[in-house]
Amino acid sequence: MFNKKRKVSNRVQIGKKILRYDSSRHGQIGETMTWIVATMVIIVILALSILVASLVGNSREVSGQDFQNKDVLASKSFFSYLLTKDSGGETVYKQIQSEENLNDFNGNLGRDIFLDFYSKEYLDMWVGLFFDRTFNPSPSNDYFGDRPFEIRVGYIRRNIPHITQEVFLDENKSLELALKIEN
């Protein structure tokens, strides 16, 4: 009698165990899937990072334009231009100082020098007389047109990156060579 009872309780226990194993198997599969997906995500992120690192690492050319804030040759050309004399023996500097604008001689000479030498290296350029820059930030002349280095949207002004070389005529006026490096 006692043995019979024991046998029955064993069977129940075995049955319970089987039931317990069955329900946990679903949980294990779900957990494994989570780990696999997590591993895949980690591998994909690493692969992307490696790809980006190798792409960026391959283009390690350091160009002069990355640090450019002046152009030695253009500046020297500009100073020589200002020292050039016309047939009357007057320098371009003196001419512009007295006439307050470019004339045929210095305007065309400026175009011959700067457009010929530097138009391939820069997006745009301007040479001219710069008056009061607060009220007239975009002066123009017949030889180089408008000074295209400032964009105005309403009251907001944005400077376009450019290199300048300036020679002051007095407190408010200056002669400027401006070379545009970016749009």
Partner 1 sequence: MKTKGAEKIISVYWFAILFIVAAAVVYMVFSFYGEPYDVRGIETGLLVDRIADCLNSGGYINEDWQNLDESNILDECRLNFNVEDTSGWNDDQYYIEIEISEFNSGKILEEVFAGNRNLNNNCGIESRNFPVCLERSMYSVDEENNQYKIRILSVIRKTEKNVQ
* Residues in contact with partner 1 by the rule CB under 8 A: 35, 39, 42-43, 46, 49-50, 53-54, 56-58, 60-64, 67, 72-73, 76-77, 79-85, 89, 113, 116-117, 121
* Shortest distance, position 174 Cβ to partner 1, whole Å: 17
Q: Sign of the CA dihedral 112, 115, 121, 127?
A: positive
Please say which residue, 64 or 154, places its beta carbon nearer to partner 1: 64
Residues 89/92/97/101 CA torsion (nearest 10 deg): 120
Neighbour-count burial of 48, counting CB atoms closer than 10 A to its CB (0-12 exposed, 13-18 middle, 19+ buried): exposed
Please say which residue, 68 or 140, places its beta carbon nearer to partner 1: 68
**6: Cβ contacts below 8 Å, ≥ 6 apart:** none
* Shortest distance, position 60 Cβ to partner 1, whole Å: 5
* Shortest distance, position 83 Cβ to partner 1, whole Å: 4
Helix (H) or strand (E) holding 126: strand 124-130
Please say which residue, 83 or 151, places its beta carbon nearer to partner 1: 83
* Shortest distance, position 63 Cβ to partner 1, whole Å: 5
**137: Cβ contacts below 8 Å, ≥ 6 apart:** 147, 150, 157
| Tokens 């045929």 belong to residue | 104
* Shortest distance, position 93 Cβ to partner 1, whole Å: 10
Please say which residue, 39 or 140, places its beta carbon nearer to partner 1: 39
Please say which residue, 18 or 156, places its beta carbon nearer to partner 1: 18
